[in-house]
Structure 1
Amino acid sequence: MRPTRRLPPWGSDVLIYAHRGYSAKYPENTLAAFQAALPYAEGIELDVQLSKDGRLVVIHDETVDRTTDGSGYVKDMTLRQIRLLSTESGERIPTLEEVLLLIESSDVTLNIELKTDRFDYDGIEYLTWLAVTEFKLEQRVVFSSFNPDTLIRLRDIAREARIAVLTVDGHPGLVDFIERIGAEAVHAQPEFIGTRDWMTLREQNRLIRLYTINDPNELPDMTGVDAIMTDEVERFQSRSHR
C-alpha cells in the first residue's frame, strides 16, 4: 500500500535525507534500511570505511562491535571476514557498490560520508570516486567528511565532485574553506542556524543541510534550510511513493 502524501509542516522545499537509511526501523547502514527509505526520501546518507583488503564497506563506526555480532576494527578485517558478520536481524554490512546498485534506478541523491575522522584510510577518496563513476552517478552523489584533508584530496582527484563540509555548529575558517574547495553545501547541527557563518553561506547561495532531526516538533526555523537528515524518515513524509 502506498503511503499517503502529506505536506510537511515546514513547506515543500526542504528535502528529506534518510540518515543511515530508515535507521529508526531497520538496522542502520544496511540494504534493508536503504530500500525502506526510498519511498519517503529525496536523499540517503551513509558512511564508508575501508577494509583491510581495500574494499569500501558501509558502516558508521570504526569497529563492528556496536552494530554486528563481531568485534574488531574494520581496518583490520578483510571483506570476507566482514561478510561473516550480521546484525541482530541477520542483515550484513554492505559494500558501497551494492548500495550504488540498489539506488541506481531510483532518483534519490546519495550522501557518502567518508569516515576518516579517526583513521585516515589511504586511497579512500580515489576508490570512492571510482566506484561512483563506474555507476555513472557523479551528479547524484554528494561527498562529505569532517576531515578537511579528505575533502581537499577528493577535490584534487575530481574537480566535478559534489562536496559538503561537515561541521557541528561552525568553526573558524569554515567559510573560507568551503570557498577554497568549492563545496556546494555545509552539513551541520541545528545550532548552526543563525550563526554568522550561516548568514554568509546563505548569501553565497550555499546549501544548508541539518542533521540529525527525528521529531518534527523539534524542528528549528527552517528558513534558509535546504534539507534535513533523519532516522525517522517516515515521520517526515515529503513525497509520494514512486
Structure 2
Amino acid sequence: MARPDLPQAFVTTPISHRALHGQKANCPENSRAAIRAAMDAGYGIEIDLQLAADGRAMVFHDDVLDRLTAQTGPVRNRSAAELGAIALRNGDGEGIPTFAEVLETVAGRVPLLVEIKDQDGAMGADVGALERAAIADLAGYDGPVALMSFNPHSVAELARLAPDLPRGLTTSAYDPAVWTALDAPLCDRLREIADFDRVGASFISHEAGDVARPRVQALRQAGVPILSWTIRSPAQEAEVRRHADNITFEGYLSPLPG
C-alpha cells in the first residue's frame, strides 16, 4: 500500500499535546483557547476526535464527559449542538468544538496532528463512522495535517477513505496491566507494530517511556518518522529526542527551532 509522505513540519515543529493547554488561565485541553495559544506560539497541535450522536466529529479526548465537563455520560449520546453547549472545565465557558470549527480556526497555519479515538475500547474492526466524519470535514483543507489512531483498523479505514492523506499508528508498550481491555496476544501484536505495512502508515507516534524499543528504532533506521508522546519536561525531551524525530509535549514550553 502506498504511503503518503508525512510533511516535514511534523518533524521540525514541536507538537502541543491536546493543544497548548494549562499554560494560562481558562485554557483547557482540546479547547479553542488552547488551539489559539498554540498557534500564537508557533507550535504544532495534536487534537483528539470523538463522535457525536448525529455523526459529527468533535474535538474531545475522553469517550465520556465526566472528567472534562460538569456533565456525565458518553459523548456519543449527545448531538454536536448539545456538546457545543457543554462548558469545558477550567475554561471561560466555551463548549466542546467541532472538528470543522477547529479546521476553520487553524486554517493551515501550523501542523495539525489528529488522533481518531478508538470507539469500542478494544481495538475492534467495527470502525468507519468517525473516520468518515473526519475525512468529510477535511475536504478542501489546505495545510499540513496527519491522522493517526491506536486502532489499526481505523488507520486502514483512513487509508481507504483518503489514500493521499498521511496516516500513522499511535503506539505503546502495551503493558497488559495497563491495557486491561485487551487480551495478551493482541497486546503482543500491537506492541510489535505488526500492522504498519498493512495499513500503509507514514509514521508512528510512540509512548515516550518505550521509544528506545528495538522495533521502533528499526523503523526509524528504515526512514520512518518517529514522533513520541507525551513529553512533560525539558529533561525528558532531551532523552526522548535521542530516539525520536519529534515530540508531543505538555506542561512546559518546548524550544522552537531557530
Q: TM-score range by the shorter chain?
A: 0.7 to 0.9
Residue 38 of structure 2 corresponds to which residue in structure 1? 37
Q: Deviations over 1:146-198 (max 9, x none)?
A: 11111111111121121110111375364442122221111111233322212
Amino acid in structure 1 at the alignment position of 2:244: V
Contact map agreement 1:213 1:229 (CA 8 A) in 2? yes
Amino acid in structure 2 at the alignment position of 1:227: N
Q: Quick one: structure 1 residues 66 and 158, their matched pair in 2 at CA, closer, same or farther if it must change by over 3 Å?
A: same
Task: From 202, 227, 233, give the equivalent of 2:246.
Answer: 227
2:141 is equivalent to residue 129 of structure 1: no
Percent identical residues: 26
2:186 is equivalent to residue 188 of structure 1: no
2:172 is equivalent to residue 168 of structure 1: yes
2:217 is equivalent to residue 214 of structure 1: no
> TM-score with structure 2 length normalisation?
0.79
Contact map agreement 1:40 1:237 (CA 8 A) in 2? no
Aligned Cα root-mean-square deviation (Å):
2.1
State how many pairs are aligned.
224
Q: Deviations over 1:68-87 (max 9, x none)?
A: 12122111111121122102
2:241 is equivalent to residue 237 of structure 1: no
Structure 2: 5+ residue runs without aligned partners? 1-10, 175-187
1:117 shift after superposition:
4.6
CA distance in 1, matches of 2:108, 2:205: 26
CA distance in 1, matches of 2:229, 2:208: 7
2:219 is equivalent to residue 201 of structure 1: yes
Residue 21 of structure 1 corresponds to which residue in structure 2? 19
Q: Quick one: structure 1 residues 94 and 79, their matched pair in 2 at CA, closer, same or farther if it must change by over 3 Å?
A: same
Structure 1: 5+ residue runs without aligned partners? 1-12
Amino acid in structure 1 at the alignment position of 2:45: I
1:239 shift after superposition:
4.8
Residue 178 of structure 2 corresponds to which residue in structure 1? none
CA distance in 1, matches of 2:30, 2:240: 29
1:215 shift after superposition:
0.8
2:160 is equivalent to residue 159 of structure 1: no
Contact map agreement 2:156 2:200 (CA 8 A) in 1? no
Amino acid in structure 2 at the alignment position of 1:15: T
User: Which stretch shows the higher mean deviation, 191-200 or 208-217?
Assistant: 191-200
1:62 shift after superposition:
0.5
CA distance in 2, matches of 1:14, 1:136: 19
CA distance in 1, matches of 2:127, 2:161: 15
Q: How does 1:60-71 map to 2 (within 5 A)?
A: 60-71=61-72
1:199 shift after superposition:
2.2
1:42 shift after superposition:
3.9
Q: Quick one: structure 1 residues 157 and 229, their matched pair in 2 at CA, closer, same or farther if it must change by over 3 Å?
A: same
Residue 6 of structure 1 corresponds to which residue in structure 2? none
| Greater relative contact order structure (CA < 8 Å, 6+ sep) | 1
1:105 shift after superposition:
4.8
